[in-house]
Every structure is written in C-alpha cells, then in structure tokens.
Amino acid sequence: MAKPEAKYGKERLKIVFQPVEGKAIPMKAGEVLRITQLGNGQCVDFNCFNLHDYKEMLSVGFTRMHSFRPKKGDFLWSNPPRSNPLMAILEMPASCVTDTLHARCNAYLFEDYYGFDLHTNCQDTFAAAVGEYRLTPDDVHDAFNLWMDTGWDDQGNTVIRRITGRKGDYVDMMAMMDVLAVPILCGSGDVQPTAAFFPKPIQVQVFESSAASLRKCKEMNARLKLKNNRELKDFAVQEILATRELKRDPKYKPKFVNFPLQFTELEVELDETEYGQLQRLRFADYQEDEEILREAVMRWLFRNRTRRGRLKASAGSK
C-alpha cells in the first residue's frame, strides 16, 4: 500500500519562547509555523513581512476587512495595494479567539494605565526581534493577535476578555510566499487578562514544506490572484526615501483612478404603486427620489452580485 502523503515536511525549528520574548523567523512558501500553548492561556502577537521586500507587510486593517476574527480557513493579508495572502490559517482550535482590534500594546499604554516607567510590551518585543534583520521600531506594525478575546461596549470603548486558550492548543499557519514571520509573547499578560494575569511560555515550530503543502499553497495563490495585486513595477513612486524629512516634489503630478468620474443620467418611469414603494424604502430623511432609487439598485447589486453580499445575506437569514 502506498505511504500516505505527508501533510507537512519535517520539523526544522523548535523553540520555546519564555516570557517575554519572540523571534523573527524566515520561512519559505509552503512551510508551516506551529504555535503551541504550553500553559493555560498566553496571548501571542504576530507580525509578518515579505522576505524579499519588507515594505510589503501584514495589514491587520485589510485582514480585518475579510474577517474580524480570522480563523481556520482564513488568510492574513498584506498591505494594499499589494493585497497578497501572507499566511494561511490551516489549523486553529475554537479556544483560540483571535484579535484584529487591539493593534499591539506598547510602553506608553502601561505608563498611562499603571504609571510603569517601563513595562514589557509588544511594540518593544517586536522591535527587539526584527532588529536582527536591521528593521527599525517604526517597521513594527499592528499585530494579528492569537488567543486574545476583544470587543467593544455600547459606548464604543474597547474591552479585553479573559483568555480562552488551553494547554496543548496549537495553531498552524502556512507561509503563502517567502516571509519573515515574527511571533512574540504578548507583554501585557501579568497585568491584563491576555495571559490570565500570569505570563506563560509558548512553543514555536517550523515544518518544511511537503509536496502537499506546496501544492495547496500554489492552488490557493492561483485562486486568490487578481489583476489588482500590485507589484513594485506598478507604483508611480518606486524608490524608498532615504531621508527622514519630507520634501515636496514640485514636478510630481498625481494620477487618480478613473478621474474625473463620468456621470450619465437615465430616466425611468415608476407607476403609482412603485412610487409608493420607493417612498417606503427611503434610506435617509434627506433623500430625493433619485437618491432612493439609485441606492436601492446599488444595494441590490451588492447583495446579489458580489460574493461578500451573498455571504452577508445568508448569514443574516440564519
């Protein structure tokens, strides 16, 4: 009988991170990062860069547009206009609630909240980790946070709920391109519910790619590739500034997309019944008939002719 195909390749790295450390780990496309809870709940923050162009990095904002709480089957996305999947979440237990709201803790917050002169924090831990690749603290970006349950209250204030992670929980994320992956232990855990008020170690492993993981990576990249995944060659400005002071380029002319927009007027006729329905649909009290009709048409198009709209409609009907 043929040997079953290995899901991942062999383990090539195994590290235990003690509170509060982290490491920048280069990964090839198709390799898998496994993060395992060694205690009952420790928040892990995650940054990620394109290994060959550090200006392409994790965009928590763009990732949040896909899912507020990325889970198994979702992707971590790079900053538009690159808009590429950086990591694919292959395995994630229900007890790993994820966060795209709280960015990353930093020393300022702990001074503000508690009066600490200096408290462990994710910004400084990331900066210490990525320094190995000559990246600066300014290159640290908002983190995708694993095992971190956040939300907001009726007043719009953010809240952090008690961590739900359990010993032995693990998350597997596959690199969708060559990346510098940066998992770190969150530094807030001794004064916040992010580690239930006691920081714990975590284990990080990297598995080499296998024929199966490479095939999966290739298939997913092909499925997600769109014309608007921009590359450096598409940029109007390509050079990275080597100076810190910003100066205007007097010769620069911006090219805005589809500018100026063209407006075309149509005229339709509604019967009395339809006109009454139009009035009942009114979306805001200031709207003229034209605005109500256009909004109804565009809402229909979003709901019925986009993937996102159909998903939203089916979620709403459950």
Give, in order, the Cα–Cα distances in Å from 37 to each of 42, 155, 169, 195, 207: 7, 33, 5, 11, 17
- Pairing mode of beta strands 144-146, 98-99: antiparallel
Q: Compute the least distance from the CB of residue 138 to other proteins, in Å.
A: 36
Of 242 and 266, which has the nearer Cβ to other proteins? 266
Residue 264: CB minimum distance to other proteins, A? 6
Residue 12 Cβ, how far from other proteins at the closest point, in Å? 48
Closest CA to 60 of 72, 51, 73, 69: 69
Q: Is residue 127 within 8 Å of residue 136, measured between CB atoms? A: yes
Rounded to 5 degrees, what are φ and ψ at 176? Answer: -95, -10
DSSP state of 168: T
Distance (Å, rounded) from C-alpha 38 to C-alpha 17?
A: 10
Nearer CB in complex with other proteins: 271/285: 271
- When the beta carbons of 71 and 303 are compared against other proteins, the nearer one is 303
Rounded CA-CA distance 161/166 in Å is 15
* Residues lying near other proteins in the complex (CB under 8 A): 258, 261-275, 277-278, 280-281, 289-291, 293-294, 296-301, 303-305
Which of 157, 273 has the CB closer to other proteins? Answer: 273
Residue closer to other proteins (CB basis): 237 or 315? 315
Least distance to other proteins from the beta carbon of 254, Å? 19
| Radius of gyration of the chain, Cα coordinates, nearest whole angstrom | 24
In terms of CB distance, is 130 or 293 closer to other proteins? Answer: 293
Phi and psi at residue 31, in whole multiples of 5°? -80, 155
CB of 82 to other proteins, least distance (A): 23
Distance CA 145, CA 96 (A): 10
Question: What is the enclosing helix (H) or strand (E) of 57?
Answer: strand 53-57
